[in-house]
Copies of this chain bind each other. A is one copy, B any other.
Amino acid sequence: MQLAERIINSKDAGLGNLLAAPKQNQVSFAGGLPDPDLFPQRELNAGFNRALASTTAALQYSSAAGYQPLRKQLAARLVADGVPASTESVLITQGAQQALDLIGRLVLDPGARVIVEGPTYPGALAALGTYEPEFCTIPVHDDGMDMAQVAATLARGGVRLIYTVPDFQNPTGTVMSLAKRQQLLALARKYDVLVLEDAPYRALRYRGTNLPTLRQLDQDDHVLHVGSFSKILAPGLRLGWVTGAQHIIDQLVQLKSNSDLESSTLTQRAVSEYLAHNDLDAHIKVLRRNYARKCKTMVTGLQRQLPASVHISDPAGGFFVWLELPAGINSETVLAQVQDRVTFVPSTTLYPDQNVKNGMRLAFTNPDEAAIRRGCRELAAGINKAMRVTCGAATAMA
């Protein structure tokens, strides 16, 4: 039986393993899972009860673009954040992941170039990889992508899409500076290339103030802004959204319809009821307080136990701490040593070419603080051991 080229050429992105629940006695820093103790379970349950009490329409077919009152509520939230949006220009998707898939479907032919940050979100590589592009990896500095390299890559031609997480980048936690946001948009305009602004962590800032989104700064409709309820409400709802120029959203609605007809009307109505009867921003404040504390626990725990030669990020928001080990230390080797006790995402998974081995992505949001401390101890012990072995070997060689 002959399979499609896209399958024959594909690699397993390993997303399934990422999102698996931790095994017994194992601390997982791997998947970007929220803290389940913070899910507003009772309030969401009330939302489902309300949605099911009022009308049979909650169980019927409805609309590919999404439940209109929810789109309106989302548009209002986007506008409050400075993002230009209207009810009509918001498309509801199956989590942000489906938005990435549909955007890839819209602009990518085999061999088209896609600019991604290195390291980046592995799910984006998986979703966009379906359409067989050539990924061009741009290093991420503390203030975002290296814009000289973005410009040089665009000048080579053939780029159809720039994928970026400007706020609390997955996995480095960095925030793209205002100057770079403006440079990126100028380049997108010059080369007439679409920018996918993936913003699932934007509301989860633990200190400082947000910069304007790319979509807010976008003068000529080159940006699609993608968001999600997964990190601020609950991933089990599978609700995300995308907004941008109306003619692009209209095409994405059509692609959504072809792909799965529509998202669950019931779930959309339940979340719409939740938003109408609860203060989501107050809920997000609780998340911010909790995650800021967990982040600090992880960063200080690692700082205390690791030598200065290991670079430890100190993110101002988001879900992840990023470790850079000295060159020559392989994070996959460390993972093999410690994975019965603690897991994380090795950097190989986060680069299209899987060629950078000395990085580690650590999600701090899911485990409780005692588990974070235990996981940091186990991880630091594993890293220190690997560094002794490698340095010992290097010394013996010298």
Contacts and interface: CB of A to CB of B under 8 A. Distances in A.
A259 interface: yes
Contacts of A154: none
A220 to B, nearest CB: 10
Contact of A260 (B3, B34, B95): B95
Max chain B Cβ within 10 angstroms of own Cβ: one of A48, A101, A127: A48
A123 interface: yes
A59 interface: yes
Contact of A61 (B31, B63, B251, B262): B31
Contacts of A97: 259-261
B107 A260 contact: no
A98 B60 contact: no
B61 A236 contact: yes
A127 B258 contact: yes
Given A4-B107, A58-B236, A106-B4, A257 B39 contact: no
Contacts of A101: 258-260
A10 B222 CA distance: 22
Identical subunits present: 2
Contacts of A192: 1-2
Interface of A: 1-7, 10, 12-13, 15-16, 19-21, 31, 33-34, 36-37, 39, 41, 44-45, 48-49, 52-53, 56-64, 93-95, 97-98, 101, 105-109, 112, 123, 126-127, 129-131, 160, 192-194, 222, 230, 234-238, 251, 253-255, 257-267
Q: Which 10 A-B pairs have the closest CB atoms?
A: A36-B56, A59-B234, A59-B236, A94-B260, A126-B258, A19-B61, A98-B260, A45-B52, A236-B265, A238-B264
26 contacts: A1-B222, A4-B105, A4-B109, A4-B112, A4-B160, A5-B109, A6-B109, A7-B251, A7-B255, A16-B254, A19-B63, A20-B63, A31-B61, A33-B60, A33-B61, A36-B60, A39-B60, A59-B236, A59-B237, A60-B235, A97-B261, A123-B258, A130-B255, A264-B264, A264-B267, A267-B267
